[in-house]
Amino acid sequence: MQTDSSFTFVLFGGTGDLSMRKILPALYEAHRAGMLAPSGKIFAVARHIDGREQYLQWVNEHVRPHVSKARFAEDAWRAFLDRIDFVGIDLGKAEDFVLLRDAVANLPGTRVFYLATGPSLFVPICRALASVGLNQNSRIVLEKPLGYDLRSSNAINDAVGEIFAEDQIYRIDHYLGKEPVQNLLALRFGNALFEPLWRRDWVESIQITIAEELGVEARGDFYDNTGALRDMVQNHLLQLLSIVAMEPPHSMDSDSVRDEKLRVLRALKPIDPRDISRVAVRGQYHAGVIRGTAVPAYANEPGVRPESTTETFVALKAEIDNWRWAGVPFFLRTGKRLADRVAEIVVNFRPVPHSALGATALRAGANRLVIRLQPNETIRLYCLAKKPGEGMNLSSVHLDLAFDQFFREGQMEAYQRLLLDVINGRLALFVRRDEQEAAWRWVEPILNEWAASGTRPKPYAAGTWGPAAASAMLAQHNTCWLEEEN
């Protein structure tokens, strides 16, 4: 489906890593699939490029390698490059924004300003846009991190909110655009099978994991002032939790969906600082081996302070104080330099209360739904079945929802979906300000306690699944992480 109308897409940070790896490849995919209006234009904004021809050369060298070879077509690529223009301005000079205004002033349709820059530039860019009248008939996309804590987040939101209305602001979280997350909504709210089971009576625990094999790469300076709790938990993990636990919205319009997510975030049980050592584990990777390659310790990464106490791993137990979920533990986990790259949601259903088929039928692990977000996007339901042969011997089997086998059309990447939603003015998959504030309020006591205690993160070897304390936390609830059971 093509975008609703013409548009002008202005990309600040046009030579940055995010633009190279995600944004421009996603726009190319949308273009190749015929999803962008023919009159739509893309403007890149950067400093160290000398004109459009040099920028297109940069795109060919740095963006093209991140486009799927299976989906690359030379004629589509050339036509995509024809959409792209370039404006060289210094973001620190408000007067330079006159050049941008003159470039886009007479173009039809909605303007989208994507701020793929550091958060310190969000407010200056917005003010400069307003100074030349570009905050009208426009939308602004803000990348994470939006602040360092609740206070700094509110300061950014207050300043941007003076220039753009809330329905013009798109706070992006790319996990919300992933196909399995969309299918989780369809699974829950489109099928009578799951709704009666989606509650404390039948769910024993829920795990949400985002694990990375990579370290901090070239982001040591940024990451050492951020850490895993701010970088991943406050946004991605809590957004996934709210999708899993939300009540059915009365419709799929933007405010209905986000109202229900907000209710979940506000129902998160506050963590008493005295309990943080029991329900929150922080770790930092040491040297190790990943897939046969030796990797350095976090403290030896470029840009990282040798004495750093920044966490690269977090595991948390969260609880939701409402009628549906009271007493069900939600285990959240994220980390760098772990054993595998995986993002998944694991719903562990309670075993049957009594079995005439033997002890095997009482295992909780046999009654499980696994929603895999990456690297391969699948939904898998585990249940018990009789093994062929004599006797009633049971074995765990699974039913797969394999999107690539069932649907002929290819899956849409998360950024592609979200960029099309921005262009078309659909807000449901973007984070509203009150959601963001509720997430910060829940996370801040943990940050404050860690800062006050001065204790170092627990060490773990690169290539493992994190500190042993993360496993011990689940053992207190007579359960384990999914890979430990397998």
Cα separation, 34 vs 450, in Å, equals: 50
- Residue whose token pair is 């007493």: 327
Cα separation, 408 vs 64, in Å, equals: 25
Q: Is 85 annotated as a binding residue?
A: no
Q: Is 179 annotated as a binding residue?
A: no
Q: Is 174 annotated as a binding residue?
A: yes
Cα separation, 22 vs 66, in Å, equals: 8
Q: Is 47 annotated as a binding residue?
A: yes
Q: Is 231 annotated as a binding residue?
A: yes
The 8-class DSSP code of residue 37 comes to -
Q: Is 62 annotated as a binding residue?
A: no
Asked if residues 435 and 146 have their Cβ atoms less than 8 Å apart, the reply is: no
**Burial class of residue 120 (count of CB atoms within 10 Å of its CB; 0-12, 13-18, 19+):** exposed
- Residue whose token pair is 């506050």: 270
DSSP string, 264-301: HHHHBPPPPGGGHHHHEEEEEEESEEETTEEE--GGGS
Dihedral (Cα; 70, 71, 75, 78), 10-degree rounding:
-120
Cα separation, 28 vs 322, in Å, equals: 44
Is 62 a residue of the active site?
Answer: no
Q: What is the 3-state secondary structure (H, E, C) of 425-485?
A: CCCCCCECHHHHHHHHHHHHHHHHHHHHHCCCCEEEECCECCCHHHHHHHHCCCCCCHHHH
Asked if residues 411 and 179 have their Cβ atoms less than 8 Å apart, the reply is: yes
Alpha helices in 22-166 (DSSP H): 24-32, 52-62, 74-83, 97-104, 122-131, 150-161
Q: Is 90 annotated as a binding residue?
A: yes
Cα separation, 65 vs 75, in Å, equals: 16
Tokens, residue 257: 């969906």
Cα separation, 40 vs 242, in Å, equals: 34
- Report how far apart, in Å, the C-alpha atoms of 27 and of each of 8, 84, 176, 412, 416 are: 12, 11, 18, 11, 6
Distance from the first to the final alpha carbon of the chain:
42
Q: Is 144 annotated as a binding residue?
A: yes
Catalytic-role residue among 236, 354, 398, 477? 236
Asked if residues 122 and 12 have their Cβ atoms less than 8 Å apart, the reply is: no
Q: Is 269 annotated as a binding residue?
A: no
| Chain centroid to CA 468 | 26
Active site residues: 236
Q: Residues forming the annotated binding site?
A: 47, 90-91, 144, 174, 178, 212, 231, 336
Q: Residues forming the annotated binding site for NADP(+)?
A: 47, 90-91, 144
Q: Residues forming the annotated binding site for substrate?
A: 174, 178, 212, 231, 336
